[in-house]
Amino acid sequence: MSGARWDVAVDAFLAHCSAEKGLAAASLAAAGQDLRRLRRWAEGPGGRSDPARITDQDLRDFLLTVARDLVASSRARLLSTLRSFFGFLVAEDWSQIDPTATIVAPRRGRKLPDVLGVSQVERLLESCDGQEPPDRRNRAILELLYGCGCRVSELCGLDIGDLDCHESTLLLRGKGSKQRLVPVGGPALAAVRIWLEQGRSRLVGRRPSAAIFLNQRGDRLSRVSVWAVLKRAAATAGLPETISPHTLRHSYATHLLEGGADLRVVQELLGHADISTTEIYTHIDRAWLTSAWLEAHPRAK
């Protein structure tokens, strides 16, 4: 392998991640960015033109060099990318040794997600009570984000055929192109039907589109536009600027657990591959239980 081996190895790895693992475009872009960062460092002084010759000490030096410029989540993602990349090289017989095998990742504390109270969610939803097509659309967007716990990318990818009004279900396409069917509550279903019947036709124009949510030009709504919708609604409702689409997803999961839903049911509804990802909500649930106990039990104080 010459200096071009980096190109060959990285391209083959990313193709593998796309075809075999079904990684989303954003995840592939992040992995490519991580590997370009490693390559720039490796081809510096005393350059290593062959990724198969990278040692565990090389990786330790690299990680120490870049750590100061990355937040904890980015460092964790970088190490995950390196493990996958060098594991791939070994599996494909491009390398005999995996240099990440002896590298231990530092334990990271888990940041509890921001969650809205039920009354705050109601204020947010009621902030979009106009009669114009964008108002109808925005109300439907917020109802689905909270009512179904969908990711913003899943929401933007929705087509009309994904909604079954008769069965009150929604087909979501999650990470790795995995699909799941989730129930849609009455308020969310009503908001989407009003948007489809009274608003969408005025935006779609003459160009046919399968997308449920459209912008003013009749194109599929983007993730950035959904963020903007939520920010405006939060400002109108007098809620914190830090609210994001994921805040509504977190609130959805937390309110389900507070209402008595089983953790594995919430895992399925959120589309989490590993229940350990869902377990972060039990911390919030326990905090709510403690608060309720403090308020209600005569011997709590």
Query: What are phi and psi for residue 127, nearest 5 degrees?
Result: -70, -20
255 is catalytic: no
With CA atoms as reference, report the closest residue to 170 among 179, 4, 126: 179
Pairing of strands 179-183, 169-173: antiparallel
**Which residues lie closer than 8 Å to 175 by C-beta, 6 or more apart?**
24, 27, 151, 271, 273
CA dist 160 → 80, 164, 173, 199 (Å): 36, 9, 13, 14
Active site (annotated) includes residue 151: yes
CA atoms within 13 A on the CB side of 279: 4
- Asked about 286 being catalytic, the answer comes back as no
Q: Which of 5, 16, 175, 220 is catalytic?
A: 175
As given in the structure block, the two tokens for residue 180 are 């799941």
**Residue 286 corresponds to which tokens in the numbers above?**
């326990």
**Quick one: tokens of 39?**
């390559």
Q: Is 217 one of the catalytic residues? A: no
CA distances from 149 to 1, 250, 293 (A): 47, 8, 27
DSSP string for 21-52: S---HHHHHHHHHHHHHHHHHHTSTT----GG
- Exactly one of 136, 139, 151, 250 is catalytic; name it: 151
Task: Kindly report the backbone phi and psi dihedral angles of residue 186, in degrees, each rounded to the nearest multiple of 5, phi listed first.
Answer: -55, -50
Cβ 78 vs Cβ 37: under 8 Å: yes
Respond yes or no: is residue 83 known to be catalytic.
Answer: no
Q: How far apart are CA 19 and CA 13, in angstroms?
A: 10
Residue with tokens 């999961």: 253
- Considering the candidates 39, 249, 250, 255, report the single residue annotated as catalytic: 249
Question: Quick one: DSSP state of residue 198?
Answer: H
Look up 252 and say whether it is catalytic. Answer: no
| Candidates 53, 123, 180, 246; catalytic one | 246
Q: Which is catalytic among the residues 39, 139, 255, 272?
A: 272
For the chain, helix, strand, coil in percent to 5 are: 60, 5, 35
- Catalytic residue set: 151, 175, 246, 249, 272, 281
